[in-house]
Amino acid sequence: MSNRTILITGGAGFIGSHVVRLFVNKYPDYRIINLDKLTYAGNLANLKDIEDRPNYRFVKMDICDFEGVLALMQDEHVDGVIHLAAESHVDRSIKDPFTFAQTNVIGTLSMLQAAKAYWEGLPEKYEGKRFYHISTDEVYGALEMTHPEGIEPPFTTKASSGEHHLAYGEKFFTEDLKYQPHSPYSAAKASSDHFVRAFHDTYGMPTIVTNCSNNYGPYQFPEKLIPLFVNNIRHRKPLPVYGKGENVRDWLYVEDHARAIDLIFHEGKVAETYNIGGFNEWKNIDIVKTLIRVTDRLLGRPEGADEDLITFVTDRAGHDLRYAIDSTKLQRELGWEPSLQFEEGIEKTIRWYLENQDWLDNVTSGEYQKYYEEMYKGR
């Protein structure tokens, strides 16, 4: 369908900016509306390359502003929503769960209710409409480090897709697993997922939910592990690792995630859930050592010279041991698969941060917030 108007929430954030850029560049006949509150994690500098495109518009707005969102949908004739806006940092959720409940639960409900109110008032109602909600693998809880008898992880295993890869356990997150969130962040995301599905079951809204693994790549806010540690290595600051660094995560390059979102938005089945992951498990300590090795090399230092920066700190409360997504359904039904192996993706990512030190310094200093606060004062 050409001449669509797609509202993307959280489009100034890490994943959102990659999705906005992809849609603006790939679909010149679409009108892309980027709705973002511009909290600490939102940065319009992430989108400088497309900010003047004729099919792009930025709107500074809180997703909890139901009346504002409804008016925007009506004025812009929005027929598709890609909902990424969320508070996403687990440590922050432990300190301030109220903010996470407000943004992730009430904000999602506000978006759903606004879409429902607008679309149900149209002659065609839900025909040609779609509400796509992006969630996380953390809603599933944690997986054990189970392994075949006599074989210590990581070991080679065959996923249900038939592909062999290294893993730290025999079980994976599949779309039919029961939710077992363990942090305020994952509990808030789980609740928002339930609301999205309830709006389909109760009102017939055409919804889709996806759950993704850890993303990495350019433009990630530097409180997250990879950009934080690259910056710390660059300045020879400590690298704080929770516990012993034994926790395992599945990593996905952000542009591969954006491609999956594009594919699912256009071709995914209504009311379905799709898991998006890289079959790419790494222990945190191994990630950290890889970051040190590659960053040192790119900085012209001896590889591994900065391992003395590793500092083990008290483990995070409720720290899940292992996440591992099975994205076989997405591969089987829609033909998506990751384009980058982690070793290639991580070098590409580190190189980007080192080549864009002005962006990194601007974000870590907070200067970007002052600039946009002044720009949008009174709007």
Active site residues: 137-138, 185
Question: Could you give the CA distance from residue 81 to residue 19 in angstroms, rounded to a whole number?
Answer: 12
Sign of CA dihedral 37, 267, 79, 106: negative
Cα–Cα nearest to 137, from 102, 168, 172, 111: 172
* CA distance to 80, 97, 168, 325, per residue, from 163 (Å): 34, 39, 15, 13
| CA–CA distances in Å: residue 27 to residues 193, 259, 305 | 28, 13, 46
* Distance in angstroms (rounded) separating the CA atoms of residues 126 and 118: 10
Ramachandran region, residue 89 (left: φ > 0; alpha: ψ -120 to 50; beta: rest)? beta
CA distance 356 to 255: 18
Q: How far apart are CA 3 and CA 18, in angstroms?
A: 21
How many CA atoms within 13 Å lie on the side-chain side of 78? 29
Tell me the C-alpha distance between 191 and 106, whole Å. 10
Spatial CB neighbours of 253, under 8 Å, sequence gap ≥ 6: 215, 216, 217, 278, 338, 339, 340, 345, 349
Say if strands 155-158 and 164-167 run parallel, antiparallel, or are unpaired: antiparallel
Sign, CA torsion 252/256/262/265: negative
Length of the chain as a residue count: 379
